[in-house]
Chain A
Amino acid sequence: MSGGVEIPVRVSRVEQATATVKRFSLEAVSGEPLPLYSAGSHVVVTMAAPDRKIKNPYSLIDRAPDGSTYRIGVLRTRDSRGGSAFMHERVEVGTELSITMPVNLFPIVRTGRKHILVAGGIGVTPIYAMAEELRRQNLPFELHYAMRDAASGAFADELVARHGDKVRLYRDDAQEIIAVDRILWRQPLGTHLYVCGPEGMIDAILAGGREAGWPDENLHSERFMAHVSGEPFSVRLAKAGVTTEVRPDQSLLEAIEEAGVDAPYLCRGGACGQCETAVLEADGELMHHDHFLTEEEHASGKKIMTCVSRLKGRELVLDL
């Protein structure tokens, strides 16, 4: 399997955390303990929809001490092309899914002296795991968590219960905003900041960090790459000798998989670089949405990350 080792799991519990967020507990079908992982890791969940397979990455919230379950949190998004809607509507206790081994693209920097965790909305899931690990290792940290309103804070109560006054909550409806300059004021040398949340929030926090004179080496983020839908186009896989259509609601990678070609991937979120593929021809404009390739590589038109990027045009020819 191109995505690595797969673990068949069964849903053992579903919690409606807020109106739009559900938390799922997953246990291994084999009954074996699930693998340990480091905070910030995600798994790719494969859902067997009637007409196709949907694969979405979700950060791991926690693992039961005996390894019997993982928890993930899923926000129902309006523009979802199926993954979050499927999880919300079709997945219940007993549903079988498949997950990859945990992969960490958002690790805690272990050389850091102090850690500032910033979460917005569903971006709290990896942050939750990081706070837990920092607490376990007795390392100094602060957690700042912004949510739309009290009812949307899917993890607020649990976080406050576990970490007390290390947690600060911010409610949009009460006009509470994260004052970056105040948070970053007088932090000791060697402090690292981690932010996960909506694109705009990440940009604002990182900009605030740079404005406060923090070096890039101390600013870290994980972007939840919302799936980018687009116009349909055709893709020809030169080595496999296969041509297929990419539907508007489908990623290029999903279309390749649906055509029966085993293409490489890892994060399915445009971050890890595993699905980098050489472009042989492009009749149209490449729409790059990844965070991996450099600007020059984007401009060169020679490479594409199949998990998030696509073509605006007629036909794309790949070296697959």
Chain B
Amino acid sequence: MPIKSRPIYPGLKLDQRARRHLVAAEGEGALAVLAIFEGKGDAAASATIVYTPGGSAGEDHAEKLADLKPDALHVMPSQETAIVRLNGLLGNAAMGTRLYAAGVEGFIGKVIASGLEHGVDHQSIYTEHCGSLARRVQCVHCKGMTENVTATPFTCSHCGLNLFVRDHYSRRLAAFQGVVVDCETPGELPEIEELYR
């Protein structure tokens, strides 16, 4: 059953009417970008792509992205640096610019948060989830973020509590909610389930 608070990522779609395309891709997200610009030289010529090969990809797609001949391609070493670059580009962008995000969920979430900060409504951002299903989880108790959570329960990387991953997603935090699992039964943990590979 879909999670009501979790965003739906319908897949990238080229908005032919956009004046500019601002594309953020992580890891396997590059494949989704390649797919929408395939054979669309005009659109690619007005695209700025920010790409980080990222943890979820076995392969670096930078060369193939360069072959699209985008207006600009920024290959960044990490999600964090990609977001910093994206923020710089958003700061100078005008209406008519369409924002795209593809990659792991945590990365998409950060792109949406950047868009929001610059006045872009999250509903107008095209998104595609590629690669790992790992979740970014915020501990509701200490507010610390743990990246790449693949199992529940897991141990908070900040406060050390055993957290259960609740099916509740915050767009603003780009994270699921982690809640302590064993406080009613100290020391008794449910079996660990690998759910989000």
Contacts and interface: CB of A to CB of B under 8 A. Distances in A.
Interface of A: 111-113, 184, 186-191, 210-218
Contact of A191 (B15, B95, B98): B95
Contacts of A215: 98, 121, 123-124
Q: Please indicate which of the listed interface residues B93, B94, B96, B121 has the most CB atoms of chain A within 10 Å of its own CB.
A: B96
A191 B120 CA distance: 9
Interface of B: 15, 17-20, 90, 93-98, 118-121, 123-124
A210 B17 contact: yes
A190 B120 contact: yes
Contact of B94 (A111, A188, A210, A211): A188
Nearest to A215: B124
Contacts of A188: 94-95, 119
Contacts of A212: 17, 19, 95-96
Classify the interface of chain A: helix, strand, loop or mixed: loop
A214 B95 contact: yes
A169 to B, nearest CB: 23
Contacts of A190: 95, 118-120
B127 to A, nearest CB: 13
Contacts of B19: 212-213
A-B pairs with lowest CB-CB distance, top 3? A190-B119, A215-B124, A213-B96
Nearest to B95: A187
B95 A218 contact: yes
Nearest to A186: B94
B95 A213 contact: yes
B95 A189 contact: yes
Nearest to A188: B94
Nearest to B21: A213
Nearest to B91: A189
Given A188-B95, A189-B90, A112 B17 contact: no
Nearest to B18: A213
Given A210-B17, A213-B95, 19 more contacts: A112-B119, A184-B96, A187-B95, A187-B96, A188-B119, A189-B118, A189-B119, A189-B120, A190-B118, A191-B95, A191-B119, A211-B17, A212-B95, A212-B96, A213-B17, A213-B20, A214-B95, A215-B98, A216-B124
Contacts of B90: 189
A184 B95 contact: yes
A213 B119 contact: no
A113 B20 CA distance: 19
A218 B119 CA distance: 10
30 contacts: A111-B121, A112-B119, A184-B95, A184-B96, A187-B94, A187-B96, A188-B94, A188-B119, A189-B90, A189-B93, A189-B94, A189-B95, A189-B118, A189-B119, A189-B120, A190-B118, A190-B119, A191-B95, A191-B119, A212-B95, A213-B17, A213-B18, A213-B19, A213-B20, A213-B96, A213-B97, A213-B98, A214-B95, A215-B121, A217-B121
